[in-house]
Amino acid sequence: MNATIRGVKQRQFLALPSWLPLALLLMVAFLLRVIGIDWGVPAPGRLWSFHPDESQVLVAALDLNIFTGKLDNGFYNYGQWYLLAAGTLIHILETLKVVAKPLAGIAPTAESLITARIFTAILGTATIWFVFDTSRRLGNKAAGFLAGATYAVMPLAVQHAHFATVDVPAAFWVAVTIWAAIAFHATGNSKILAIGAIACGLGAATKYNAGLSLFPLMLAWLLRKERKATELVGVLLITAVAFVIGCPGSVLNTGQFIKDIAFEARHVGAGSEQIFTNTIPGYLYHPLVNGPWVVAYLWPAIGLGIVNIGLRRKAAELIPLAFALPYFLLIGIAQVKFARYALPLLPVLALYTGLLFVRKPDQRPYIGAFATLCCALTLFASVTWVRQFTATDPRIAAAAGIKASGAEVVTFARRPWFWSASLSPQIAHFSPKLAADDARAFDGIPQLVVPPDGSEWSVDTLSQFNQASVLTLSELEIMDAVRLRDTQPMLFVDAAHTLLPTTKVYGSPISIPFISSFRSSTYNGWLTLQGVPHDMLYVNPQIWVLSGR
């Protein structure tokens, strides 16, 4: 008897608390999202982040102030919720003298940028809990944990949680809305439905197309046998009110609000210079071109998860599709195909992957081993991405190398911007014109030579070179010209390499087995391109410095 009691007590002592695995997962996920959070922040001689959207978002956020009643800043390319939330947090910390106020009254300080980034990282980590609980409600705890782990290690979700931008926050609100739709479908609790409506409204107030998450709420209501028309009316009203609260400028400055939304719609429909010219349609581009970078080695598990849902055909499990399908169709018809556009879809893909664990009990060990392998490999890929944040940025390294070399003149092949070697204070300004004008006006050593508008990639520029001159190229500015074999840039690059045979490369191509080798390419034997989606390459664009020495 005593031996039995001792054995029971020993097992109880060794048993882990049920909450511990999820807590550890959240801790690891948060670490993935905050390590390297100070990447590319403003520093002496450099006023702006290397992520062009971050600077624009933060300037707009700091221009809003709920304490002074300023709720209209005239900027509605994005919804205002994230701007208001991050800006309010920064203003509080400014008052407490924890965060310094903007430089020259405009440029966000390093502390304010890091504060906003940490806020994004917290939202990205919180998303995991909602993905976990949604999959748990549809399946079981193991399904929830697999779903949470899947989202936790997705490279795109990890990388963009380091940025003060709206994409990860929008994905958070989509995850909350879908969680509420599933919970309401199971319980019929109108309060949960109201929470979902609030989340949907705030999601739309963060990124407008996140408003499509209204559809899962409506479908959940429709699938319940016991439903009230007043519940649906309440959802619509609460969503609208939450949107206005999260984006007050929509009623305070309706004209500018509509104008900015129309601008964004035209931009997405028309394309972005050469970036997506002659590429396959978005509904193929996102899974086939961006996909391997976005989810790395999770694709097999995600694919099986989607097939599994199709085979099971359970009504509740189809509720997330009410958002995922129209959202995918929307980004599929767009001419702009940035990888980050897929972020709001990732919680849905993760929870469907988790539901693999509701297969027959005899299949679960194999599913568990397979899913663990996919997540472990993808964790390796995400760690590789995180290491890019902790390494010296190629633009900083190139600027230091150029100065150390004694070069007196630095020539840019085209108008410099955030992608260029960091050689002037505002070269990474979110306005490309202002960035180029700052480089032209830079009065220091080395002298910066920026080609006049309309004469970019001019071979004539190379005739002015001497032993004290260097030419700098960025991967972000040349990659699409190489892909399209654009005549003028190719003539320039070929001539430059002939006249300036000494090449120094800053930044190492990211190495993720199979994915990197499949996507990378080399032009003319020396220009190696990583093949990374543009908005995932912001962290590690290679910089080439060519000279005749």
Torsion of CA 454, 459, 465, 471, to 10 degrees: 70
Greater model confidence, 213 or 458: 213
Task: Tell how strand 527-529 and strand 409-412 pair up.
Answer: unpaired
Q: What is the mean pLDDT of residues 404-412?
A: 91
Query: What is the predicted pLDDT for the residue at 395?
Result: 97
Query: What is the predicted pLDDT for the residue at 504?
Result: 94
Q: If you average pLDDT over each of 122-136, 500-514, 516-530, which comes out highest?
A: 122-136
Mean pLDDT score of the chain, rounded to an integer?
92
Query: What is the predicted pLDDT for the residue at 16?
Result: 72
Q: Can you tell me the distance from the alpha carbon of 309 to that of 307, in angstroms, rounded to the nearest whole number?
A: 5
Share above pLDDT 90 across residues of the chain, in percent, rounded to a whole number: 76
Q: What is the mean pLDDT of residues 13-34?
A: 88
Query: What is the predicted pLDDT for the residue at 104?
Result: 67
Contacts for 329 with CB less than 8 Å, ≥ 6 apart:
283
pLDDT at position 423 over 80:
yes
Query: What is the predicted pLDDT for the residue at 13?
Result: 44
Share above pLDDT 70 across residues of the chain, in percent, rounded to a whole number: 96
Query: What is the predicted pLDDT for the residue at 454?
Result: 78
Give the predicted TM-score (pTM) of the model. Answer: 0.94
* DSSP codes of every residue in 353-374: HHGGGGS-GGGHHHHHHHHHHH
Query: What is the predicted pLDDT for the residue at 6?
Result: 52
Q: Can you tell me the distance from the alpha carbon of 489 to that of 477, in angstroms, rounded to the nearest whole number?
A: 10
Per-residue pLDDT tens over the stretch 307-363: 988 888 899 999 999 999 999 999 999 999 999 999 999 999 999 999 988 766 777
Query: What is the predicted pLDDT for the residue at 288?
Result: 95
Q: Is 465 helix (H, G, I), strand (E, B) or coil?
A: coil
Query: What is the predicted pLDDT for the residue at 345?
Result: 98
Tokens of 211: 């408003």
The CA-based angle 254-260-262, given to 5 degrees, is 100
> Which residue in 230, 234, 324, 233 sits closest to 283, CA to CA?
324
Per-residue pLDDT tens over the stretch 274-315: 899 999 999 999 999 999 999 999 999 999 999 988 888 899
Tokens of 206: 């963060």
- When mean pLDDT is compared across 8-12, 146-150, 336-340, the lowest value belongs to 8-12
> Which residue in 289, 248, 60, 35 sits closest to 162, CA to CA?
35
Tell me which residue has tokens 């199971």: 186
pLDDT at position 69 over 60:
yes
> Which residue in 460, 465, 425 sits closest to 444, CA to CA?
425
Side chain identity at residue 465, one-letter code: F
Q: What is the mean pLDDT of residues 527-549?
A: 92
Query: What is the predicted pLDDT for the residue at 2?
Result: 57
Contacts for 152 with CB less than 8 Å, ≥ 6 apart:
25, 26, 28, 29, 32, 128
- When mean pLDDT is compared across 134-138, 233-237, 520-524, the lowest value belongs to 520-524
Per-residue pLDDT tens over the stretch 383-396: 999 999 999 999 99
Q: At what angle do helices 364-390 and 20-34 cross, to 10 degrees?
A: 30
Query: What is the predicted pLDDT for the residue at 10?
Result: 47
Q: How confident is the model at residue 56 (pLDDT cuts 50, 70, 90)?
A: very high
pLDDT at position 4 over 60:
no
Helix, strand and coil content of the chain, in percent to the nearest 5, comes to 65, 5, 30
Do 443 and 425 form a contact (C-beta atoms < 8 A)?
no
Tell me which residue has tokens 């608390």: 17
Per-residue pLDDT tens over the stretch 96-134: 999 988 876 788 999 999 999 999 999 999 999 999 999
Q: What is the mean pLDDT of residues 11-40?
A: 87
Task: Tell how strand 409-412 and strand 447-449 pair up.
Answer: parallel
